[in-house]
Amino acid sequence: MVISMGKSSPHSTVELRKINRNRVFHYLYHAAEPLTKQELAYRLSMSLPTLTQNLTELIGMGLVDNSETAGSNGGRKPRILSVVPRARWALGVEISSQHIRLAALDLQVHELGFRVINLPFHTGEEYSVRLSQTIECFIDELGLDRSRLLGVGISIPGIVDNGQRYVTAAPTLGVRKLDVHCIAEHIPYPVCLVNDANAGGFAECWERTGSVQHMAYLSVSRGVGGAILTSGTAYLGTNGRSGEFGHMCIHPGGAPCSCGRRGCLEAYCSTARLSDDIGVTLEGFFQALSRGDAAYSALWARYLDDLAVGIANIYAALDCEIVLGGKLSRFMDENFDALDQRLRRLDPFYQEKPYLSICRYYDHSNCIGAALYFVAQFIQQI
Ligand SMILES: [Zn+2]
């Protein structure tokens, strides 16, 4: 399924009614607290009859609730209006070489459940059958209503074509080209395929709606990737390869990279440099680092030097807030200052306020972002 966020040019009465209905829903969706009809009419500058008509439709669709009443100084208590978060929900599935992660989200991006399942990736039919079974078990465990499921967003660690039908160049999965049908043929719901970093970036950008217009997302896990988001949507590039920050060269002729070249950011800042290469887990590395292990401290300092060069280059090119995500992010809150100091030294224009921040959803972000594509599409068309 191709997710299109394009704008139409409505002229008919039906379209105008839909625009008004969407305005009412969006206002309630983003409101910090439930509102009375009078408050809503005032804030939207909408007549009470028009608002009543729209609310009747939204309540009839099960998307808005008016069963609660507000406190009153006397007389009849006014009803308060709020969005029904569970009116619809979406599922996000992150596929990686050894695991799948699943997250269910309601309309207001509350996480309804999250699981990590061991399921090594392969391209045979057995995998797509297991994937479908895992999804159905997850839905049953959470007791969610399948008739309210908007769709399943699948996050893939590879380049997804702009038609969201093929995966190309997914080295961590050992895939050169793969049709979405091979993965999703047994999933009986609408499916959308999305690059993992674009999904993670979309989730983080959504979380910052209203405060950030443009954003770069740098995902640092075994693979290093990223996304560029402008006005809330991913800029995909001509070939769907934008934001491949992991393959920016930071040391010409340097260490070999999974892409076949040398000196890429991923070759220096894959989390494998802090785990597999020295025979420990990432958690083990940071535990030893916090105990003051001298060898690990030296390795960490070199790692941060390289990571800072990569981040500073992204900032020099894009001049926007950068959010650091991926598996590394869980360990960065306590190490933020060490990285930020390096960024300040690398950038003569560095403002007082840091341009780098750590992601909010950590290792859930790819799943959440994949599910969010369906949520975003749904609330856009109400
Ligand atoms: Zn590379």
Closest CA to 159 of 91, 259, 92: 259
Angstrom distance (rounded) from CA 14 to CA 377: 20
324 CA from centroid of ligand 1 (Å): 19
pLDDT at 73: 62
264 CA from centroid of ligand 1 (Å): 5
Could you tell me which residues are beta bridge partners of residue 218? 226, 324
Listed in sequence order, the DSSP H helices in the chain are 13-30, 37-44, 48-60, 125-142, 180-184, 196-207, 265-269, 282-290, 294-318, 336-346, 365-381
301 CA from centroid of ligand 1 (Å): 22
Closest CA to 300 of 290, 314, 309: 290
Angstrom distance (rounded) from CA 144 to CA 91: 11
Angstrom distance (rounded) from CA 36 to CA 34: 7
260 CA from centroid of ligand 1 (Å): 6
91 CA from centroid of ligand 1 (Å): 31
71 CA from centroid of ligand 1 (Å): 61
138 CA from centroid of ligand 1 (Å): 36
pLDDT at 113: 98
257 CA from centroid of ligand 1 (Å): 5
Per-residue pLDDT of the chain (382 residues; tens, 9 = 90+): 333 334 445 568 888 888 999 999 999 999 988 899 999 999 999 999 999 999 999 999 999 999 888 775 667 788 899 999 999 999 999 999 899 999 999 999 999 999 999 999 998 899 999 999 999 999 999 999 999 999 999 999 988 887 777 888 887 888 888 888 889 999 999 999 999 999 999 999 998 876 788 999 999 998 899 999 998 888 988 888 899 999 999 999 999 998 899 999 999 999 999 999 999 999 999 999 999 999 999 999 999 999 999 999 999 999 999 999 999 999 999 999 999 999 999 987 877 788 999 999 998 999 999 999 999 999 999 9
Largest CA distance in the chain: 79
187 CA from centroid of ligand 1 (Å): 33
Are 319 and 355 within 8 A, CB to CB? no
375 CA from centroid of ligand 1 (Å): 34
Residue 323 Cα distances to 105, 201, 365, angstroms: 22, 8, 12
93 CA from centroid of ligand 1 (Å): 26
pLDDT at 239: 84
Angstrom distance (rounded) from CA 332 to CA 314: 19
107 CA from centroid of ligand 1 (Å): 38
Closest CA to 115 of 363, 283, 284, 324: 363
pLDDT at 11: 62
Angstrom distance (rounded) from CA 361 to CA 116: 15
55 CA from centroid of ligand 1 (Å): 53
267 CA from centroid of ligand 1 (Å): 7
95 CA from centroid of ligand 1 (Å): 21
Could you tell me which residues are beta bridge partners of residue 184? none
Residue 152, SS3? strand
Closest CA to 2 of 236, 215, 228: 236
244 CA from centroid of ligand 1 (Å): 9
Angstrom distance (rounded) from CA 40 to CA 24: 8
Residue 243 Cα distances to 5, 16, 329, 366, angstroms: 20, 38, 18, 15
* Domains of the chain, CATH where assigned: 13-83 (1.10.10.10), 87-201+365-381 (3.30.420.40), 212-362 (3.30.420.40)
63 CA from centroid of ligand 1 (Å): 46
114 CA from centroid of ligand 1 (Å): 32
Q: At what angle do helices 365-381 and 196-207 cross, to 10 degrees?
A: 60
Helix, strand counts (H, E) of the chain? 11, 16
Give the β-pairing of 79-83 and 64-69.
Answer: antiparallel
169 CA from centroid of ligand 1 (Å): 12
60 CA from centroid of ligand 1 (Å): 53
Angstrom distance (rounded) from CA 151 to CA 189: 6
Closest CA to 341 of 379, 301, 371: 301
313 CA from centroid of ligand 1 (Å): 16
Instruction: Characterise 337 by phi-psi region: left (phi > 0), alpha (psi -120 to 50), beta (else).
Output: alpha
pLDDT at 7: 46
